[in-house]
Structure 1
């Protein structure tokens, strides 16, 4: 009976993923047909950069000359080079990007279900988490608000966590990715030592693709690496992840973006955080340099409203996920401490 229940739950998850991907892909495509997308600054910029990339001219951009002549002057998203051939096969139709985003985001329900099922040892509870995830207004807003390469990141990160969780299970330590000493349910079947490199390699591939979706993603994986070292004592894996992420963040933010900018300056989006500093280093160190300004932003009404939008749909349960929740801190900080009002509300 348990096997039947598990198979039924798995089928429901697959159905939910298909329903989400198809439904939101259709909504996004119809919004494009009705001229209700965000315009040239988002979807249009991606469409142009991908067109040029497919024709061997790099991620060229002409719509915002004040920023620069390449997409790298705005964001560092190497994953676009992988998408360019697919975009060409799709006939350079921007709706392909909207469908791709909806499908990839929807697919995130599968690794999430697998992680939750192992963590909770309860198919119904895991299914409930997938329901909540796919019904999250913030996720649906990302799906419908044009196309953004970083929209692919959650699914890639969830897949990376799933494979890493599998790779970390040993006969003497069944915790995998988690920090607690015991897990409910029966013990997991360990992967043979000779084939442990397979999920580890798949994890590295997923995390590598996630890194390529935006220049701030390395901050998440850097924290995940620190978590693995400090909470799980997985020094080699954690150190490799943190070091790789730190190097890529430095290259993307301090080398690539300034090199692509006409005046050699940092990202134009740093202006959103002018209350915390004018350079990436100043902004990152602001909690230590200017704790008062940081605390003022943290307790501002717009910030509290933003926190509520992200956590209330889960009945505030994400806060029970500490210390693992710390991995999400960069996204919370970027969304909540920005002076741009668009960062504090859902866009559709």
Structure 2
């Protein structure tokens, strides 16, 4: 009874704190769903003069917490009776285990009550409110999935078991692929995918195969002036057969799903168990930072950097077996995904040297000089490649200008050299920018979904340089967490550390199984709270922006856009607002219509002089209100004699301007 009382009390207090504070509840659910829950529990919401809302009372919180606790314990007890391999656990023991797993929430409650200690402490406490719940849910999941931790489990190495686990893995990969391909394609058909940093990569292939160069007309020239990122050129043969952005979305999702295969192989080799390896590979597919590589927080759905994740995992798998040719091939392909991978490949070379040295000492054998040479070469060459790209290659394609992403580190300077020198000569500034609440939250959101694999510390150190850059990157920290694409080079390193943790459980098969179940439970619980997939809360929350009906069901705006395409000849040169721009890349020219200065318009606030049409999306959330009055459109204000506003057949969703032809044409 004491365990049940602790569960109910902790859950009730936690629910009260979360629901009464809008800032905390928004970490889980929308305001709309929060209000519904409050009213369901018999409470009421009162607005304050500062615009915030507080819950006045919540009389049903105790009953709800009691029901959740009874359901949880009953489910675990029933699963234990059905699946126990030996002595069954008593109900009281299960209740006690579940009560112990409320400890993270209990600690958080104490932190929240003490939040007045400092502003930073209060921000941190609010920032981990969903992380502590994820840990508790993972603990409950572990109790549910493990019928009896005291039972010793033998490793089943039979061919039948391996074949069965491979089939389960292929099924999991297929579910991942079908789900995310559907989501990506639905966003496309609903006109939700931006051109910049997404569809522009398909434009590269179209322009390349039509004699316009490896570029998008967003760029000041060839795309190589932005990044040395060419891996998607390998899709050209398929793109000839199917010239569509949907091809790129399919390829990216399949590539990310294939990352489960080397993950499985690494985990199986280290654990000797195909079942443990299956759990680890499935945890990779549930790892929510992987989901955000497929569809980022700002709905950018295709990034070539994502192809580097499975390639780096294959490289790690080859490296551990000393298959050096395979490793080097995978490294080269990963560098073609983006130069950022050099920042993890160089430390991996150093790790090879350190690992060979420590292992030779443990074995009492001589050091393999070939391994040392390959490790040193990897570290030196990848470092030299990064310097070459940042200091020479990209600036050369930019007519001598520095790399554009230097502005992400503007606190330290304007050029890469200036940034590095400031970091070295001003360690106080570096410390202040690096050691922040946001950095700690970012770190937790990376490692908690993998069961906090701290035992794989040497692997984690390989990823340390990338993590430091992420913490100093202004854009990557908005919000702090793996929600954009910058964390891609870290994902294979963290997955590697997860596999190493499993392999360190050499004392028994049961210990490996427990750790694998824990990692799987952490991946599942964090996917529930942080992801946007059908497993997540926000996918089903009607008040969330990522609610499935909002994003994946074709709305009136998307239907009206079809009328716009009917008015545009294929030979036209078109300037358009983002999102609409994504559909116009196969026309003669496809320009960006915005206030951002572009090279194709001589960096002036205008469209290029050869523009035939302008298409404006008036109802997208980023356009709403800006184009309500069509008379205020820039071209109609400055050059009304050159442009005609075509009759609106889209019920106000879009506006089309057509350039008048000069007299005599």
Identify the TM-score tier after normalising by the shorter chain. Answer: 0.7 to 0.9
Bigger radius of gyration: 2
Contact 1:335/1:343 (8 A) holds in 2: no
Indicate the larger mover: 289-298 or 44-53: 289-298
Contact 2:176/2:257 (8 A) holds in 1: yes
Contact 1:335/1:344 (8 A) holds in 2: no
How far off is 1:272 after superposition?
0.8
Q: 1:56-109, CA deviations, whole angstroms, 9 ceiling, x for partnerless residues? A: 443122124xxx212112111122332333323222x11111111100011000
Instruction: Return the alpha-carbon distance in structure 1 between the equivalents of residues 170 and 305 of structure 2.
Output: 23
**In structure 2, do the counterparts of structure 1 residues 289 and 14 end up closer, same or farther at CA, with 3 Å as the change threshold?**
farther
TM-score by length of 2: 0.44
How far off is 1:9 after superposition?
1.8
Instruction: Return the alpha-carbon distance in structure 2 between the equivalents of residues 211 and 122 of structure 1.
Output: 32
User: Which of 147, 162, 171 is 2:302 aligned to?
Assistant: 147
**In structure 2, do the counterparts of structure 1 residues 19 and 131 end up closer, same or farther at CA, with 3 Å as the change threshold?**
same
Q: Would you say 1:159 and 2:310 are equivalent positions? A: no
Alignment of 1:277-316 (within 5 A): 277-284=413-420, 288-316=424-452
More strand by share: 2
Instruction: Return the alpha-carbon distance in structure 1 between the equivalents of residues 271 and 325 of structure 2.
Output: 25
Contact 1:43/1:94 (8 A) holds in 2: no
How far off is 1:164 after superposition?
2.2
TM-score by length of 1: 0.82
Instruction: Return the alpha-carbon distance in structure 2 between the equivalents of residues 329 and 104 of structure 1.
Output: 25
Q: Would you say 1:331 and 2:466 are equivalent positions? A: yes
Aligned to 2:388: 251
Aligned to 1:72: 224
Unaligned stretches of 5+ in structure 1?
169-198
**In structure 2, do the counterparts of structure 1 residues 49 and 247 end up closer, same or farther at CA, with 3 Å as the change threshold?**
same
Q: 1:131-152, CA deviations, whole angstroms, 9 ceiling, x for partnerless residues? A: 2211111110111231111111
User: Which of 329, 333, 337 is 1:213 aligned to?
Assistant: 337
Aligned to 1:136: 287
Aligned to 2:167: 11
How far off is 1:286 after superposition?
5.5
How far off is 1:214 after superposition?
0.6
Aligned to 1:63: 218
Indicate the larger mover: 288-297 or 223-232: 288-297
How far off is 1:282 after superposition?
4.3
Contact 1:78/1:213 (8 A) holds in 2: yes
Q: Would you say 1:273 and 2:409 are equivalent positions? A: yes
More helix by share: 1
How far off is 1:10 after superposition?
2.0
How far off is 1:261 after superposition?
1.2
Unaligned stretches of 5+ in structure 2?
1-155, 358-370, 485-531, 533-665
